[in-house]
Amino acid sequence: FDVVDLIRTKRDHGALSTPEIDWLIDAYTRGYVADEQMAALAMAIVLNGMSRQEIRDLTLAMIASGERMDFSQLSKTTVDKHSTGGVGDKITLPLMPLVASFGVAVPQLSGRGLGHTGGTLDKLESIPGWRASLSNAEILEQLESVGGVICAAGSGLAPADKKLYALRDITGTVEAIPLIASSIMSKKIAEGTASLVLDVKFGSGAFMQDIARSRELAQTMVDLGNDAGVRTTALLTNMEVPLGLTIGNANEVRESLEVLAGGGPADVVELTLALASEMLALAGQPDADVAAALADGRAMDTWNRVIRAQGGDPTAALPVAKETETVVAPASGVLLRQDALAFGIAAWRLGAGRARASDPVVHAAGIELHAKPGDTVVAGQPLFTLAADDASRFARALAALDGAWAVGPASELPESLPLVVE
Ligand code: URA
């Protein structure tokens, strides 16, 4: 095949055949197709889309570019969760031990944050000693003995996606349903989980602001999973406001521990329980009492075992920032809004996130929210606290929050969609 012909085909609204896609992904992985050619093709896909068959072929070709994990030798069934990412989304932390406490294996192969969305591995690295990198043999052993693992996805899974995602990131070609769906699902199918629950977000802090596009992304991924033999379902959830009361790394671990101790913010608990029920239903336990396992400490026991198994000390103190700055309500009224994207960018500017994949994160940096939209506040009451190791970061973080929140009369409170929409 000639890659220029393939680019022209997509440019002119045509469809690529299965052999063409197989050849393209193999040639790109090996370096025979250049980055600029792949970028041109990715842009044609952003503009003109792909058919169901093309999306399926692309996903399978990216799986075939690397190794596949095999959990079939475990004595338990496997179930995983994937979130399309958001602000304050620490749900994997309480969810993994909660679901594992029911005797199923939860392999959470996770990533690091880039831009305003946080990464699960960055959050867990706040815990002294905790190690993200495990061999395949260690993952299998830990799933069998403890039931849960959160670790870095090995570089052997879908290497074509790794290369293509990095290229899309710098060429304005991330936001296309065929590309996002095939990227996420190639890694999840290659990982070898038997079942998968997707948390597909919409709203200001999500990839897709629009609920209809998020629904289409969810349906596309659910179809890809089920076609490949992975029992897959999705929840469509609201990312207009940050999840919970913390945005950052160490502070999100602290909040997750509150949830595992039976407390924590209502929205984090609600989403954790909803996803846990969905995961356990796929794993053959539709009547599991997930709330009881949070309340009675079973989920916390599993958390402690998982953290210890990966070298962490679950009793160690988490890092605390040197500098804080608190913003208070300018008047009495109701908190009207709290824009997820703006708060995510502010936490990033405080040091909680990174601009380049190689940057370090500041584990203690982030934001603590003291009120959520709909809460009544009085003048002078703290609304949120910024935390950083260097006070010079506050001005740029506050600039990101300009217009992102407001206090006013209850009559101006906009209607909001529920947390779990479908
Ligand atoms: N996450 C991925 O892994 N890939 C995408 O394309 C988008 C989000």
Q: Looking at the predicted structure, is the pLDDT value of residue 4 above 90?
A: yes
Catalytic residue at 183? yes
Query: 315: how many CB neighbours lie within 10 A of its CB?
Result: 9
Is the CB of residue 80 less than 8 Å from the CB of residue 107? yes
Q: Which atom of ligand 1 is nearest to the CA of 174?
A: 6
Using pLDDT thresholds of 50, 70 and 90, give the confidence band for residue 153.
Answer: confident
Q: 282 CB contacts (<8 Å, ≥6 apart)?
A: 79, 195, 196, 197, 231, 233
Give the number of other Cβ atoms within 10 Å of residue 35's Cβ: 15
Helices (H) and strands (E) in the chain, counts: 16, 12
Considering Cα of 190, then 196, then 200, then 205, what sign does the dihedral take?
negative
142-151 pLDDT, tens per residue? Answer: 999 999 999 9
pLDDT of residue 52: 96
CA distance 376 to 143: 45
Q: Which fold has domain 323-412?
A: Aldehyde Oxidoreductase; domain 3 (3.90.1170)
For 269-285, write each residue's pLDDT tens digit: 999 999 999 999 999 99
% pLDDT > 70, the chain: 100
For 87, the token pair is 């602000």
Is the pLDDT assigned to residue 116 strictly greater than 80? no
Instruction: For ligand 1, atom 3, name the residue with the nearest CA.
Output: 184
pLDDT band at 360 (very low <50, low <70, confident <90, very high): confident
* Count of Cβ atoms closer than 10 Å to residue 136 Cβ: 12
Against a cut of 0.90, is the pTM above it? yes
Q: Is 420 helix (H, G, I), strand (E, B) or coil?
A: strand
Is 168 assigned a catalytic role? yes
CA distance 181 to 179: 6
Look up the ipTM and state it.
Answer: 0.96
Q: Does domain 79-157+189-309 have CATH number 3.40.50.740?
A: no
**Euclidean distance between CA atoms 335 and 333, whole angstroms:** 7
Please pick, among 10, 112, 187, 231, the residue that the annotation labels catalytic.
187
pLDDT value, residue 281? 98
CA 259 to chain centre: 18
Return the number of other C-beta atoms located less than 10 Å from residue 75's C-beta.
8
Domain residue extents for the chain: 79-157+189-309, 323-412
Annotated active-site residue in 57, 80, 89, 161:
161
